[in-house]
Chain A
Amino acid sequence: MNDVFPLGKEDLLKAYRTMKTIREFEERLHVDFGRGDIPGFVHLYAGEEAAATGIMMHLNDKDRIASTHRGHGHCIAKGVDINAMMGEIYGKSTGACHGKGGSMHIADLSKGMMGANGILGAGSPLACGAALAAQKLGHGGIGMSFTGDGASNQGTFLESLNLAAIWNLPMVFVVENNGYAESTSVDYATAVDSYVDRAAGFGVPGVTVDGTDFFAVHEAAGEVIRRAREGGGPSLLECKMIRFFGHFEGDAQTYRAEGETEDNRSNRDCLKQFRARVTEAGVIDAGALDAIDGEVMAAIDNAVEQAIAAPLPGAADLTTDVYVSY
């Protein structure tokens, strides 16, 4: 008995490549950061790939997303170049932000990626602004904000739900519920079980899906995005998912139960599940996926090599780009 899909073979391969790229990008950062090669802080998206990928496959460059501090997955799924990303994480002038932003502020407005954000919840009003612009300019794009289970308690998120509802903005609020806000469990920090209930309180419909199931995310995301695009107004999409690493790299994760991460990696790995389903259905053969694995590893290696070799920004770069003109 098999489970087969709404996407054609090419799109399935693309989905796998995106998820694999995110996974290996993050796994590599975990190693390199542990060795002390990377300045600052990184917050890794490994384990959550199905959500970013399943959602972003429905978006184009006119659609704008406002991401979180854990933004590498959103960047990659939205089409930001991994060399530019790696360069930025290493603080090099070749980075997406010329080394001025770092991991928490990677942005590429040409791809509709309004930036990873170090202030949790700040993205929701900004994405409402993108949705407002799309509505006023009539170009058919949507705004989308990502918040975690923690940031979805922030006033900015709640105010944005109301604003999007009263103005019928083409908005999707994605809540990435991985069960932990830093070290604090969602069962403690959030009064309701489901963020869909919260959205309902603001007159915004919502749906909860298993965020480790690419196909569930993809189908539900398709509906909420279509609804936003076609004047149906805002929706909330809650993805229940798992992050494999800590809140930040260096987090000892003592708040997790013993064996929790091992169990997650064995039984709730969205990439393993995706691979099993497409190969068991006979739609994609394992060899094709293995080939992608190889290509992705090479691309990541290349990105790291380039980033290491790239120049740091010079002293003159310190004072540039504060304003358009001053």
Chain B
Amino acid sequence: MSVGHVARGFEEAGIPTVSVFVRAFRHVAEVMKLPRTVITQHPMGRPLGGPGDPQRQRTVIEAALGLFDSATAGGTVVEIGDTWRPGAVNP
């Protein structure tokens, strides 16, 4: 919920926002009516991609940034379909 309040506060103050949520919290973005949201199919705590997976991390960030140019109304939610994959960084 925290980032939901932050997103709404900044948008209401005139600064456009986009948020990246993991799928488990899609409903939070929806009930809080956030301006722009990208949803990833990642486990909690790994919103942008696995450790050592710069390709996935970039894909997610580009999708989020793209919403600044494409979204035309608040409440826009785009779900990235790519399923979770572990990164290349070993424990």
Do A and B come from the same complex? no
